[in-house]
């Protein structure tokens, strides 16, 4: 079957198509209905079926390939490396599950995981899946304020963390950040389970904090059975930045997600049981959930979990991992490739990369220069793919597992199965023709594996993502795009105030709120500005209450550093703007709306557009003048 026919069936006959794809996973109890879309836009997949993510990722492989590698944990920060077979992984997951149960965690309870990229983080995620608890992983780089908002939203019974993470040889203590977050949060967890890596001193709070190693010792022989879950039970919550300061908890199901990952691993990523998959992301992001932990294991592959930088101890570290573990499929981000492009070529040349069959890139737009360079260096297909935290797996790519479709430079590809993608005119709602710019939207229902709702807020899910276009209910990606005459899509950037920094989605509003908390800032605008290395960087323009401290170059730099330190403390380094400029006016319409797109255009050296509605044209000159400092 060619891909066009395969795709068409996924849209025109969803019941038959997804019933067939559902055979890729194990079901404890068969489903009675493939899709219930009686309450749009809420889609319920594989209704009545019972399954479990941990069973499909671990247990079902133990009999056939129990001694084969499942989890390859590599840290160039601590120089530790350990390979867990499927059988060993199963034992570790059951031990961790028993530890959680001993702390009162059961089906439906939330467990917040704030961890570095170590094996115990995978054990914790899979243990939650095993016993029916709902995990919420928070990126280890987030600071206390951001962590506190997620604690209050998820209300976890248990938090799992560690003494510290490491980056570039420096310890990043997690425990003080976590303690402060719990103090700031209204909700208090019953327990905090801590992995002591011996990196920094760590004190435990009596009655709340528990040492993981000590409790694990008591459960070495634990046999924790799988808790079978209805397909539409919640598997996890993953928070993503929005245009308001409050993050959105993307809520995922169990059965639909398992089927979507199994399907994508077969058709898009072409992964086979017994092979090795290496995704360079972090479990704090959706790529880490889908294509470090669950996806490769569901496909019976070994998965590499890497703690470290792509250029430490040298720029060949990733390629040495590919050689050592015979990696067949690799997933990274364009930013990382651009970093490697700056390194001496011999680091890549000295390793045997003959096992590698393809490199997949996502998280931000892939430019032609980067794509062509890495394809030439590796001599394998470089396959772009486009998706979101909300969808959980690719919207656009090429499915070489179905047909050897050509890639197209600058395009992530064509719609993947189940995604009825449209490009819609923002003003008229009319469908755009080839080459016409519009908003990339998906006609409902969303396919299996996509978000069920915003956790605890169905109304926000509907209001944020869904609208009616020509009588059809459609989901907005909030990205501009065009489609060419052959059906390939090109993504042109965000329509809202979310920016993409090195593959990390950041809400400008969240950064603005952090900067505004500085005692000398009265107003601030943050925009995403194009950057050759990171794709975009955050740039801030602030109005001061007292301009005197910024009257000199030294004073401006000191104040800029002070404001950045505030963001570091509240959001973490990931939210820190690359620059903070000081102005006395910000460009606004007469109705008071901030003209962020005009500010962004000036920063990027483009025409700021129609300014007939601007209240004070002098504000634009201030932006230009500020950039000269």
62 CA to centre of own chain: 29
Q: Are 591 and 525 in contact (CB under 8 A)?
A: no
pLDDT for the residue 497: 67
Q: Are 366 and 533 in contact (CB under 8 A)?
A: no
What span, in angstroms and rounded, lies between the C-alpha atoms of 336 and 281? 10
Using the 8-state DSSP alphabet, how is residue 416 labeled? P
Is residue 387 in some structural domain?
no
Q: Is the N-terminal amide bond of 445 cis, ω within 30° of 0?
A: yes
Q: Are 239 and 505 in contact (CB under 8 A)?
A: no
Is residue 582 in some structural domain?
yes
Question: Coil, strand or helix: which one is 92?
Answer: helix
Of 298, 278, 356, nearest to 59 by C-alpha is 298
pLDDT for the residue 498: 72
Is residue 587 in some structural domain?
yes
Is residue 345 in some structural domain?
no
pLDDT for the residue 446: 98
Is residue 600 in some structural domain?
yes
pLDDT for the residue 594: 75
pLDDT for the residue 329: 98
pLDDT for the residue 590: 58
Query: Where does residue 605 rank: exposed (0-12), middle (13-18), buried (19+ CB within 10 A)?
Result: exposed
pLDDT for the residue 366: 81
For 225, residues 6+ apart whose C-beta sits below 8 A from its C-beta are none
Q: Are 110 and 155 in contact (CB under 8 A)?
A: yes
CATH number for the domain spanning 587: value is 3.30.300.30
Is residue 474 in some structural domain?
no
pLDDT for the residue 612: 52
Is residue 263 in some structural domain?
no
Domain housing 522: 500-627
| Whole-number Cα distances in Å, 159 to 209, 285, 597 | 9, 18, 40
Is residue 617 in some structural domain?
yes
What span, in angstroms and rounded, lies between the C-alpha atoms of 412 and 333? 13
Phi, psi angle pair for 344, to nearest 5°: -60, 135
When divided into structural domains, the chain yields a total of 1
List average pLDDT for each run of 10 residues in the chain, which is 629 residues long: 95 98 98 98 98 98 97 97 98 98 98 98 98 96 88 97 94 95 97 97 96 98 98 96 73 98 98 97 94 98 96 94 98 88 86 96 82 91 95 98 92 97 91 93 98 97 92 91 95 74 72 87 88 87 89 90 90 87 82 76 81 71 84
């Amino acid at each position: 079957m060619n891909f066009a026919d395969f795709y068409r069936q996924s849209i025109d006959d969803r019941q038959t198509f997804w019933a067939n794809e559902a055979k890729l996973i194990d079901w404890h109890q068969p489903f009675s209905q493939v899709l219930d879309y009686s309450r749009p836009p809420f889609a319920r997949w594989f209704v009545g079926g019972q399954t479990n993510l941990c069973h499909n990722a671990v247990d079902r492989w133990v009999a056939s390939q129990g001694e084969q590698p499942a989890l390859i944990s590599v840290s160039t920060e601590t120089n530790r490396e350990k390979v867990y077979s499927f059988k060993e992984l199963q034992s570790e997951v059951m031990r961790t599950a028993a530890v959680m149960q001993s702390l009162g965690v059961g089906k439906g309870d939330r467990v917040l995981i704030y961890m570095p990229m170590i094996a115990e983080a995978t054990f914790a995620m899979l243990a939650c899946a095993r016993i029916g608890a709902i995990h919420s992983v928070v990126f280890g780089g987030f600071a206390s304020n951001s962590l506190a908002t997620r604690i209050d939203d998820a209300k976890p019974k248990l938090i799992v963390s560690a003494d510290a993470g490491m980056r570039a040889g420096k310890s990043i203590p997690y425990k003080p950040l976590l303690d402060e977050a719990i103090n700031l949060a209204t909700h208090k967890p019953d327990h905090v389970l801590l992995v002591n890596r011996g990196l920094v001193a760590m004190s435990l709070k009596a009655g709340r904090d528990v040492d993981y190693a000590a409790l694990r010792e008591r459960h070495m022989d634990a046999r924790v059975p799988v808790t079978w879950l209805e397909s539409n039970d919640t598997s996890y919550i993953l928070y993503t930045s929005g245009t308001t300061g409050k993050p959105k908890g993307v809520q995922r199901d169990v059965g639909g997600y398992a089927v979507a990952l199994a399907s994508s691993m077969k058709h898009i990523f072409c992964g086979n049981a017994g092979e090795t998959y290496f995704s360079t992301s972090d479990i704090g992001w959706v790529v880490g959930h889908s294509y470090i932990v669950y996806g490769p294991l569901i496909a019976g592959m070994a998965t590499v979990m890497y703690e470290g930088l792509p250029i430490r101890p040298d720029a060949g570290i990733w390629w040495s991992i590919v050689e050592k573990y015979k990696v067949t499929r690799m997933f990274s981000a364009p930013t990382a490739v651009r970093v490697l492009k700056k390194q001496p070529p011999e680091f890549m040349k000295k390793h045997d990369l003959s096992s590698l069959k393809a490199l997949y890139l996502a998280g931000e737009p892939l430019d032609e220069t980067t794509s062509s360079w890495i394809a030439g260096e590796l001599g394998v297909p470089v396959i772009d793919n486009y998706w979101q935290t909300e969808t959980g797996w690719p919207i656009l790519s090429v499915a070489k597992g179905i047909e050897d479709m050509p890639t197209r430079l600058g395009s992530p590809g064509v719609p993947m199965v189940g995604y009825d993608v449209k490009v819609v005119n923002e003003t008229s709602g009319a469908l755009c023709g080839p080459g016409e710019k519009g908003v990339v939207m998906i006609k409902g229902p969303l396919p299996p594996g996509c978000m069920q709702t915003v956790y605890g807020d169905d109304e926000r899910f509907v209001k944020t993502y869904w609208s009616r276009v020509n009588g059809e209910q459609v989901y907005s990606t909030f990205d501009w795009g065009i489609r060419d005459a052959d059906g390939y899509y090109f993504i042109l950037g965000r329509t809202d105030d979310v920016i993409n920094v090195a593959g990390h989605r950041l809400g400008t509003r969240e950064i603005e709120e952090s900067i505004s908390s500085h005692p000398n800032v009265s107003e601030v605008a943050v925009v995403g500005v194009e950057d050759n290395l990171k794709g975009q960087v955050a740039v801030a323009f602030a109005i001061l209450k007292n301009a005197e401290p910024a009257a000199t170059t030294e004073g401006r730099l000191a104040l800029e550093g002070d404001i950045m330190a505030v963001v570091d403390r509240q959001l973490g380094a990931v939210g820190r703007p690359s620059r903070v400029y000081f102005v006395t006016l910000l460009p606004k319409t007469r109705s008071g709306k901030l003209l962020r797109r005009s500010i962004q255009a000036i920063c990027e050296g483009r025409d700021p557009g129609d300014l007939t509605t601007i209240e004070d044209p002098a504000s634009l000159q201030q932006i230009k003048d500020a950039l000269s400092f």
